[in-house]
């Protein structure tokens, strides 16, 4: 079965009395265990697509089906549960809680999944270690650089070992060594059978995926298959 199915998905935002068409009739499938990159110029609908797949928003028309469930048919509460259980999301703006330390931010999704405090603490530190931030575990976001915040956001997205990992420009602010380390985390998750969807402007990053979906003006321009994804070592 598919992790995600989009059927004729359109999204129109209302900007004052002006409708803005962000997506116009996009259909695609993300098979379980697939690794997909999304590319396209600024304004082509990439973030809108991610927000729909991530159950943060619902389409104006068409259907978004995540883990077999039509997202629009779920209550807010059910949608939040689905998100917490299935989806790890790395936002462009990181969305970290300013009053919590890096470790507490990473542990937060585990609180909602009922993981014990001791286990959360241990796992948060392991995740921070994996993204190379062990020594910053007790820092608050404002004490961290942009790239460090991004790594906290990635560690948090991995907290519940999500079946579906969504990342919007995950390497955008990072130096190339850190960027490679992050992509190798994603490759690990993919190898472990998880479904990965990554938005990127960088062609070499996109080539880690099995296929690249190209968006243009809110439409699916073409899908490119990558024969030999360049997996990081
Ligand atoms: P991308 O991520 O590819 O840059 P977006 O999905 O952010 O594209 O945006 C697609 C289109 O929708 C753009 O024209 C953008 O200005 C518009 N848009 C996105 N979000 C909103 C919003 N909340 N309100 C109004 N227009 C929006
Ligand atoms: P960037 O410009 O790359 O975002 P910053 O100039 O914000 O980086 O930070 C550089 C380094 O200083 C980082 O390693 C960050 O963790 C550390 N740092 C920044 N602000 C603080 C602070 N208030 N307390 C402790 N360390 C800090």
Q: Whose CA is nearest to atom 8 of ligand 2?
A: 145
Q: What is the mean pLDDT of residues 38-64?
A: 96
Centre of ligand 2 from the C-alpha of residue 144, in Å: 5
Centre of ligand 2 from the C-alpha of residue 176, in Å: 18
Ligand 2 contacts CB of residue 41 (under 6 A): no
- Which of 133, 137, 143, 175 for mutating ligand 2's site (highest number of atoms within 8 Å of CB)? 143
For the CA of 215, the closest atom of ligand 1 is 3
Q: Which ligand is nearest to the CA of 132?
A: 2
Centre of ligand 1 from the C-alpha of residue 79, in Å: 22
Is the pTM value of this prediction over 0.95?
A: no
What tens digit of pLDDT does each residue of 100-148 get?
999 999 999 999 888 999 999 999 999 999 888 999 999 999 999 888 8
Ligand 1 contacts CB of residue 40 (under 6 A): yes
For the CA of 145, the closest atom of ligand 2 is 4
126/128 Cα distance (integer angstroms): 5
Say which range, 24-38, 40-54, 165-179, has the weakest mean pLDDT: 165-179
* Torsion-angle region of 67 (φ positive above 0: left; ψ -120 to 50: alpha; else: beta): left
52/89 Cα distance (integer angstroms): 12
Q: What confidence score (pLDDT) does residue 228 get?
A: 84
Q: Whose CA is nearest to atom 11 of ligand 1?
A: 22
Centre of ligand 1 from the C-alpha of residue 9, in Å: 15
Q: Which ligand is nearest to the CA of 216?
A: 1
The answer to whether the complex's ipTM is over 0.85 is: no
pLDDT of residue 231 exceeding 80, the answer is no
Q: What is the DSSP string of 7-38?
A: EEEEEEEEETTEEEEEEEEEEEEEETT-EEEE
165/133 Cα distance (integer angstroms): 20
8 A C-beta contact, residue 207 and residue 36: no
pLDDT of residue 6 exceeding 90, the answer is yes
Q: What confidence score (pLDDT) does residue 25 get?
A: 96
What tens digit of pLDDT does each residue of 151-185 get?
899 899 989 888 999 999 888 777 787 788 788 88
User: In whole numbers, what is the pLDDT of the chain averaged over residues?
Assistant: 92
Q: Where are the alpha helices (DSSP H) in the chain?
A: 46-53, 76-86, 102-112, 117-130, 146-157, 176-191, 203-206
pLDDT of residue 233 exceeding 70, the answer is no
Percent of the chain with pLDDT over 70: 99
């Amino acid at each position: 079965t598919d992790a995600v199915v989009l059927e004729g998905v359109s999204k129109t935002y209302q900007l004052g009395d002006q409708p803005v068409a962000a997506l116009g009739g996009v259909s695609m499938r993300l098979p379980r265990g697939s690794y997909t990159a999304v590319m396209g110029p600024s304004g082509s609908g990439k973030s809108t697509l991610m927000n729909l797949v991530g159950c943060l928003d619902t389409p104006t028309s068409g259907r978004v089906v995540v883990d077999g469930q039509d997202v629009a048919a779920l209550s807010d509460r059910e949608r939040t549960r689905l998100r917490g259980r299935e989806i790890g999301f790395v936002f462009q703006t990181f969305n970290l809680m300013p009053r919590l330390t890096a470790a507490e931010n990473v542990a937060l999704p585990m609180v909602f999944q009922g993981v014990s405090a001791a286990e959360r603490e241990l796992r948060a530190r392991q995740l921070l270690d994996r993204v190379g931030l062990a020594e910053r575990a007790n820092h608050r976001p404002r004490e961290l650089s942009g790239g460090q915040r991004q790594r906290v956001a990635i560690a948090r997205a991995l907290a519940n070992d999500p079946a579906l990992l969504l990342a919007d420009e995950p390497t955008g602010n990072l130096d190339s060594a850190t960027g490679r380390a992050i992509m190798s985390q994603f490759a690990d998750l993919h190898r472990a059978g998880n479904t990965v969807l990554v938005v990127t402007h960088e062609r070499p990053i996109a080539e880690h995926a099995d296929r690249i979906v190209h968006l243009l003006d809110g439409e699916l321009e073409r899908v490119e298959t990558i024969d030999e994804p360049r997996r990081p070592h």
